[in-house]
Amino acid sequence: MLDAIKRLREKLSLGRGGNSGKPVVEAASIDEVVKMELREMRSALETSIEAKLLRLSVTYKPVKTYSIEDPWARVIILRHKDTGEYLYYVNEVELNRDEKIIYNRIMDILTWELRHPTEEELRRMPGVSLAEKEKEFLVRQIKRIVNIYRIKMASEIEGVSWGKILYYMIRNNVGYGDIDVLIKDEYLEDISCDGVGRPIYVWHQEYESIPTNIIFNDERELDHIILMLAHKSGKHISVAFPILDATLPEGHRVAATFRKEISTKGSTFTIRKFKNRPLSIVDLILGGTLTPQIAAYLWILAEYRMPGMIMGVTGSGKTTTLNAIATLLRPNIKIVTIEDTPELRIPHENWVQLVSRPSYSVTGESIGEITLYDLVRVSLRYRPDVIIVGEVRGEEAYVLFQALATGHGGLTTIHSETIEAMIKRLTSPPMNIPLGYIPLLKFALAVKRIRMPDPTSKSGYSIARRVTDVWEIAGEHDYIQVARWNPFTKEHEHRFENSVVLDEISQLTGFTREEVMDELERRATVLTWMAKTGIKEFRNVAPLIFKYYYDPSSVYNRAIRELKM
């Protein structure tokens, strides 16, 4: 390797330094160099990507291409010409031989030079969370080291792209290495690896579950990724403790198994991606998940802290819907959320977020575990107006229902498909809720992933999320459907006139039933206005919902005015 470097140096001294022999870009920073380089390189990169595509085009047809980090990494969705199957193709630039040598050299230096930031340095880093600040510090360190090395090598070696080297340095040291593109791709909801020699599968928002061209053929490579995931989430995984259940710094949820201890095909992992921007209630309306009327109905129920449950299968959108509904709660109430991994993000100031903790079992004896059950119990001491449990599975459900019985508000989700299945689960072990407690829940809604005809999509359909049923629970065996998704007309239907919960609210407030319905319509108008005028970002929606609580007419009048324009 040293020889190669020497060769490079020699090449360099004959390099393009001009008459003076001085390197042209010595003074420039690595960022400037990359910028300059990009101008020249972009078309070369395009050509190499085109060439790759041409090779693939014998069997595949590209159906969608997008950049993840322009121009270094892009994704191409390919469709097999015969079978019609899709392939998620990660296309990254490749380091040439010289670049690989330099890359390895800089990696050596980095290992020596990398240090922890001081508190003062961290404070000065841009970014909101500690993880973001640490990341930024690392990126700067890498840039600095690459820059020093580049200048030491007199700045320019023909055919070497510092941009590419920097891309790989950051991808492998700050990012997620071979799966970095997948982590960054906003279209992906899930990433899963079932073992060595098998393609990683992703759940793509437009193409559902599809294989990728990323395969770990070597057990060590896969183990390395798993250890990295454990390390990044501040947890431990090993042959002795072969299960990982953790949260990555960006909020993604990761589960993994190590080697062949418990999974026959060796290490496995699955990552549920965390959306940077939580979907707001207006996003859900715009995506057709629910109508402004259903949202307005939920808003009124939220205002009066009516307990509710969201049901659906894995990945159907339970947590997302729960989060959007939680935003509709009154701004000044006290909320405690309880989760296994911190996924919920709500705008309320008086919010305590509790997260369970698995046991430490270093000596073989499990200690220190804090379960959802413990948290629900302790949450009652906080005197919350509303308790939100991310998902109920076990005995914590029982405590939650006790809390509902003593007048607390509550929202949660459950893994079930129908209301009957939901009640069966709730009343069976390990939850064991007495049937008599079930009507403490005022409403239950079902969310599903469904196929919708889509002429713009190659497959003729696309996947959409729909609130398929909104039930009110009037008695132990008495459920009233107030809204549903009609699979034939592909539209939501409302039956709010059947609502007993709105009757209850009318009794509670002294507003007539008609007045309550008028209020529902007014809120639906406000939500329609937000959807039509593009006020959908979580951070913009929340303040307007809050404002409506203390000054409804100004928000409503603005909505009417702007809807007329």
- Nearest in space to 214 (alpha carbons), one of 197, 226, 189: 197
Q: Where are the beta strands (DSSP E) in 157-206?
A: 188-193, 199-204
Pick between residue 15 and residue 317 the one whose CB is nearest to Mg ion.
317
Q: Does 289 bind ligand ATP (CB under 6 A)?
A: yes
Residue 400 CB contacts under 8 Å (≥ 6 apart), including other chains:
376, 387, 389, 392, 410, 412
Pick between residue 240 and residue 452 the one whose CB is nearest to ligand ATP.
452
CB of 183 to ligand ATP, least distance (A): 13
CA 91 – CA 71 distance, rounded (Å):
10
- Binding segment (CB under 6 A) for ligand ATP, from list 23-31, 73-81, 85-93, 312-320: 312-320
- Binding segment (CB under 5 A) for Mg ion, from list 251-259, 313-321, 344-352, 422-430: 313-321
Please give the residue whose beta carbon sits closest to ligand ATP in the complex. Answer: 317
Pick between residue 72 and residue 207 the one whose CB is nearest to ligand ATP.
207
Among 319, 337, 341, 416, binds ligand ATP (CB under 6 A): 319
- Binding segment (CB under 6 A) for ligand ATP, from list 270-278, 345-353, 355-363, 393-401: 270-278
Residue 189 interacting partner from ligand ATP, Mg ion, none (CB closer than 5 to 8 Å by kind): ligand ATP
Q: Does 345 bind ligand ATP (CB under 6 A)?
A: no
3-state helix, strand, coil in the chain (%, to 5): 40, 25, 35
Among 268, 289, 319, 528, binds Mg ion (CB under 5 A): 319
CB of 122 to ligand ATP, least distance (A): 30
- Binding segment (CB under 6 A) for ligand ATP, from list 36-44, 282-290, 395-403, 498-506: 282-290
**Count of residues near ligand ATP by CB under 6 A:** 17
* Token pair belonging to 200: 């990683």
Pick between residue 267 and residue 289 the one whose CB is nearest to ligand ATP.
289
* Cβ pair 133, 125 in contact under 8 A: yes
For residue 32, the Cα-to-chain-centroid distance in whole angstroms is 33
Buried b / exposed e over 508-520, threshold 16 CB at 10 Å, is eeeeeeeebbebb
Strand order in the sheet with 351-355: 351-355, 335-339, 386-389, 409-415, 308-312, 443-453, 461-475, 478-486, 491-494
Pick between residue 170 and residue 271 the one whose CB is nearest to ligand ATP.
271
- Binding segment (CB under 5 A) for Mg ion, from list 8-16, 88-96, 315-323, 344-352: 315-323
CB of 146 to Mg ion, least distance (A): 40
* Token pair belonging to 444: 């239950």
Site for ligand ATP in 165-194 (CB under 6 A): 189
CB of 269 to ligand ATP, least distance (A): 15
CB of 392 to Mg ion, least distance (A): 11
* Cβ pair 410, 307 in contact under 8 A: yes
Sign of CA dihedral 34, 35, 41, 45: positive
CB of 326 to ligand ATP, least distance (A): 12
Q: Does 312 bind ligand ATP (CB under 6 A)?
A: yes
CA 258 – CA 548 distance, rounded (Å):
51
- Binding segment (CB under 6 A) for ligand ATP, from list 63-71, 81-89, 308-316, 469-477: 308-316
- Binding segment (CB under 6 A) for ligand ATP, from list 30-38, 53-61, 268-276, 377-385: 268-276
Pick between residue 232 and residue 275 the one whose CB is nearest to ligand ATP.
275
Cα angle, residue 553 at apex, residues 549 and 555 outer, rounded to 5°? 70
Q: Does 79 bind ligand ATP (CB under 6 A)?
A: no
Q: Does 318 bind ligand ATP (CB under 6 A)?
A: yes
Pick between residue 315 and residue 436 the one whose CB is nearest to ligand ATP.
315
Q: Which helix (H) or strand (E) element contains residue 244?
A: strand 243-247
* Cβ pair 244, 255 in contact under 8 A: yes
* Cβ pair 197, 215 in contact under 8 A: yes
CA 108 – CA 116 distance, rounded (Å):
17
Strands 461-475 and 443-453, how do they pair? antiparallel
* Token pair belonging to 420: 């009957």
Residue 317 interacting partner from Mg ion, ligand ATP, none (CB closer than 5 to 8 Å by kind): ligand ATP
For residue 476, the Cα-to-chain-centroid distance in whole angstroms is 37
Q: Does 499 bind Mg ion (CB under 5 A)?
A: no
Please give the residue whose beta carbon sits closest to Mg ion in the complex. Answer: 319
Q: Does 537 bind ligand ATP (CB under 6 A)?
A: no
**C-alpha distances in Å from residue 144, one per residue of 107, 140, 169, 170, 303:** 13, 6, 12, 12, 53
Site for ligand ATP in 438-467 (CB under 6 A): 465
Q: Does 315 bind ligand ATP (CB under 6 A)?
A: yes
The residues of the shown chain that bind Mg ion, judged by CB under 5 A, are 318-319
The residues of the shown chain that bind ligand ATP, judged by CB under 6 A, are 189, 272-273, 275, 279, 284, 287, 289, 312, 314-320, 465
